[in-house]
Amino acid sequence: MSKKLIKKKDLYFPSKEFKKNALINKKSIYKEAEKSQIKFWEKLAKELFWFKKWKKVFVHKPPYFQWFTGGKINITSNIFENNSKGFEKIKNKVALIWEPEPVNEQSRTFTYAELYAEVNRFANALKKMGVKKGDKVGIYLPMIPEAIVSMLACARIGAIHVVVFSAFSPTALRVRLQDTEAKVLITADGYNRRGKVVDLKKNADEGMKDTKVKKAIVIKRAENKVRMKKGRDFWWNDLKKDQSDFCKAEIMDAEDILFILYTSGSTGKPKGTVQACGGYTVQAKFTGKYIFDFQNSDIFWSTADVGWITGHTYSCYSPLLNAATYLIFEGAPGWPKPNRWAKIIEKYKVTIFYTAPTAIRMFAKFGLDILKGIRFNTLRLIGSVGEPIDESAWMWYFEKVGKQSCPVVDTWWQTETGGILITSLPGIGPFKPCFTGLPFPGTKFKILNDRGRECKTGERGNLVLLPPFTPGLLRGVYKNPKRYLKTYWSQYGKKIYFTSDAAYKDKNGLIRVVGRVDDVMKVAGHRLSTGEMEDSISKIDYINECAVIGMPDQIKGEVPAVFLVLKKNAVEKKRFTEDIYKEIQLKVRKEIGPIAGIKKVFVVEDLPKTRSGKIMRRILKRLFTGEPLGDLSTLANADSVQKIKEVIKLSD
């Protein structure tokens, strides 16, 4: 039987064989879910282990809502001792494979039983340190198994984890520790990145200043010489040495907070999105089951770092809840050679691969030579996430990696949604380049114009999610109800969740997500806010005003470009743009991290503004995308645009 996908006009469908074996392969699932979304999710929730069943499935008090009200659960019980597959059956199965960055270093694996013991020991160690249910624990770790163990240990005892991406700067770490008032921070002595050791502990020390962190737990990873502060810093191994390998799971209310994860929004300050224990567990488990079709023999690799939501859900919770075997990788996918990622697929016989368009474009750039002799024949399903995937990257992925036999699940979701919400299901399809697919069963999306009217087929508008939303949708912005209301529930009222994405539908109802309509950028799939960067840059003393925009980039999707207006005296000094560029680069690296690398700096006389003084970033962006600039007569200083065009031209 041919394994190749079946093509009908511009759509692809799974092969007969794939369809036959897929966990979900009947179109009727959509109809069934549509009849009652609430009942659909309830049925799924029933497959999990609850200490106590819920009283109500969905309660709506706009803009707030609850799922599984009154239910009691612990996500780690559902991963381990009460896993729906039966713990006895999965105990000796490999749960986690870790590939270190150095090629000659041994990998590590953990069976479900080993991971369970490790999580329990560490949970007990945290308890001994005084961590209690509801306390916040910062996690500032690279992709090492201890990152997974730390998250699960927190969940085990009901502590709320606040994971901070390890490549974020000390300032970014501090902001998150301060906002959550975390008492404990888990970090490491360093890690490997592109052949160098990053001194993570130094950054952690800096980030802990002026916070409420009383204790730090340090993992020995890089054998990097670090300073341990007496009474505050403890080695991970010392702490868990004498701990028992059993720790009772804390009984959590379905609506208790499982974790807080910070993400960029339209303003300078990142927002702490809040996830609930019950809803998130249901969302993580079943989106994984339906979309990645986790089967007993699968080896799943999600390249996402746990510092982002994709890492939380698909590099940690979802594969474990589904009793799958999965892989995490410490390093950069192109290190030491551009084919490292392909070699990892071959080495571990990966069957399901999940990555971002930026990585796909980078792999494609190196050409097929680098893939010579590498076998991908174990792959059966491939996925993409984080940014729109263009047709050529999609086709390259589909043909060269998936060999036309692997369904491509292009998955749309957000930090706020907790799990994937739009994609084609692999056993059903259809798959179409650039289109993410259909809403996940049990969810209802619409595309509305600015006045709230539903858009016609092909017409672009704002993507919104309708009640009952989804169990994994955020429950709030930590300590900031005003921002929660303003960001998500003000555009179309308190009953419609506004995604901040533009999208349109084709005649089959497949959704294409075009990009953000707010001031959020996706740089190499990483979510950054223009406001956050502007805040850092404005701190430089000779800068009068600035505007950051996402400029199109062939590999990274978007890269930040800065438009600057200098203070008068600085202009007189005739500073060189090159020096300014260096200074700005340093500033954003210090305040945000290396991922916020600025691509271009343009020194201009004036920024385009409305009469009320609002900077029109949209117009600046269009100078690069080639879209029509629109009506400039509403600007207070329309002539600034022509001058800026000249500056851009000169810099080419």
Closest to 219 (Cα-Cα) out of 185, 183, 187, 192: 187
Considering only residues 431 through 470, tell me which ones interact with ligand WTA, judged by CB under 6 A.
436
Size of site (CB under 6 A) for ligand WTA? 22
Other CB atoms within 10 Å distance of the CB of residue 21: 14
Residue 414 binds ligand WTA, judged by CB under 6 A: yes
Closest approach, Cβ 363 to ligand WTA, in A, equals 17
Residue 11 binds ligand WTA, judged by CB under 6 A: no
Residue 516 binds ligand WTA, judged by CB under 6 A: yes
**CA 581 to CA 303: how far, in whole Å?**
32
| CB closer to ligand WTA out of 101 and 387 | 387
Question: In the structure encoding, which two tokens stand for residue 364, read together?
Answer: 């494609």
Considering only residues 494 through 513, tell me which ones interact with ligand WTA, judged by CB under 6 A.
499, 501, 513
**CA 267 to CA 261: how far, in whole Å?**
17
Residue 263 binds ligand WTA, judged by CB under 6 A: yes
| CB closer to ligand WTA out of 291 and 371 | 291
| CB closer to ligand WTA out of 429 and 608 | 429
| CB closer to ligand WTA out of 122 and 353 | 353
**CA 472 to CA 506: how far, in whole Å?**
27
Residue 412 binds ligand WTA, judged by CB under 6 A: yes
| CB closer to ligand WTA out of 211 and 315 | 315
| CB closer to ligand WTA out of 505 and 527 | 527
Closest approach, Cβ 388 to ligand WTA, in A, equals 4
DSSP conformational letter for 303: -
Which residues is 198 bridged to in the sheet?
191
Considering only residues 317 through 346, tell me which ones interact with ligand WTA, judged by CB under 6 A.
none
Give yes or no for a contact between 614 and 593, defined as CB atoms under 8 angstroms apart.
Answer: no
**CA 265 to CA 477: how far, in whole Å?**
11
Give yes or no for a contact between 493 and 501, defined as CB atoms under 8 angstroms apart.
Answer: no
- Output the CA–CA distances (angstroms, integers) from residue 513 to 236, 394, 437, 483, 510, in the order listed: 43, 14, 10, 24, 10
Instruction: Give the residue at shortest CB distance from ligand WTA.
Output: 415
Site string for ligand WTA, 525-564 (x = CB under 6 A): --x-------------------------------------
Give yes or no for a contact between 176 and 162, defined as CB atoms under 8 angstroms apart.
Answer: yes
Give yes or no for a contact between 356 and 387, defined as CB atoms under 8 angstroms apart.
Answer: yes
Closest approach, Cβ 29 to ligand WTA, in A, equals 21
Name which position in 77, 124, 411, 536 contacts ligand WTA (CB under 6 A). Answer: 411
| CB closer to ligand WTA out of 121 and 512 | 512
| CB closer to ligand WTA out of 245 and 518 | 518
**CA 368 to CA 342: how far, in whole Å?**
11
Closest approach, Cβ 389 to ligand WTA, in A, equals 7
Segment contacting ligand WTA by CB under 6 A, of 8-16, 51-59, 405-413, 639-647:
405-413
Closest approach, Cβ 423 to ligand WTA, in A, equals 8
Other CB atoms within 10 Å distance of the CB of residue 63: 17
Question: In the structure encoding, which two tokens stand for residue 52, read together?
Answer: 């106590």
Name which position in 340, 522, 587, 617 contacts ligand WTA (CB under 6 A). Answer: 522
| CB closer to ligand WTA out of 498 and 563 | 498
| CB closer to ligand WTA out of 516 and 556 | 516
Residue 355 binds ligand WTA, judged by CB under 6 A: no
Question: In the structure encoding, which two tokens stand for residue 258, read together?
Answer: 């499982």
| CB closer to ligand WTA out of 146 and 501 | 501
Q: Please give the span between the terminal C-alpha atoms of the chain, in angstroms, as a whole number.
A: 54
Other CB atoms within 10 Å distance of the CB of residue 594: 13
Considering only residues 12 through 51, tell me which ones interact with ligand WTA, judged by CB under 6 A.
none
Segment contacting ligand WTA by CB under 6 A, of 366-374, 445-453, 515-523, 547-555:
515-523
For residue 387, the one-letter residue type is E
Closest to 252 (Cα-Cα) out of 88, 124, 132: 132
Give yes or no for a contact between 531 and 266, defined as CB atoms under 8 angstroms apart.
Answer: yes
Segment contacting ligand WTA by CB under 6 A, of 24-32, 39-47, 411-419, 550-558:
411-419
Other CB atoms within 10 Å distance of the CB of residue 129: 16
Residue 205 binds ligand WTA, judged by CB under 6 A: no
Give yes or no for a contact between 458 and 443, defined as CB atoms under 8 angstroms apart.
Answer: no
Helix (H, G, I), strand (E, B) or coil at 294: coil
Dihedral of alpha carbons 207, 209, 210, 215, sign: positive
Closest approach, Cβ 30 to ligand WTA, in A, equals 19
- Output the CA–CA distances (angstroms, integers) from residue 354 to 100, 175, 513, 533, in the order listed: 18, 31, 18, 29
**CA 8 to CA 402: how far, in whole Å?**
18
Other CB atoms within 10 Å distance of the CB of residue 626: 7
| CB closer to ligand WTA out of 357 and 468 | 357
Closest approach, Cβ 470 to ligand WTA, in A, equals 14
Helix, strand and coil content of the chain, in percent to the nearest 5, comes to 35, 25, 40
Segment contacting ligand WTA by CB under 6 A, of 113-121, 249-257, 332-340, 412-420:
412-420
**CA 473 to CA 37: how far, in whole Å?**
15
Site string for ligand WTA, 378-397 (x = CB under 6 A): -------xxxx---------
Considering only residues 282 through 321, tell me which ones interact with ligand WTA, judged by CB under 6 A.
308-310
Considering only residues 577 through 636, tell me which ones interact with ligand WTA, judged by CB under 6 A.
none
Q: Which residue's entry shows tokens 């799958």? A: 324
| CB closer to ligand WTA out of 116 and 431 | 431
| CB closer to ligand WTA out of 112 and 308 | 308
Name the residues that contact ligand WTA, by CB under 6 A: 263, 308-310, 385-388, 410-415, 436, 499, 501, 513, 515-516, 522, 527
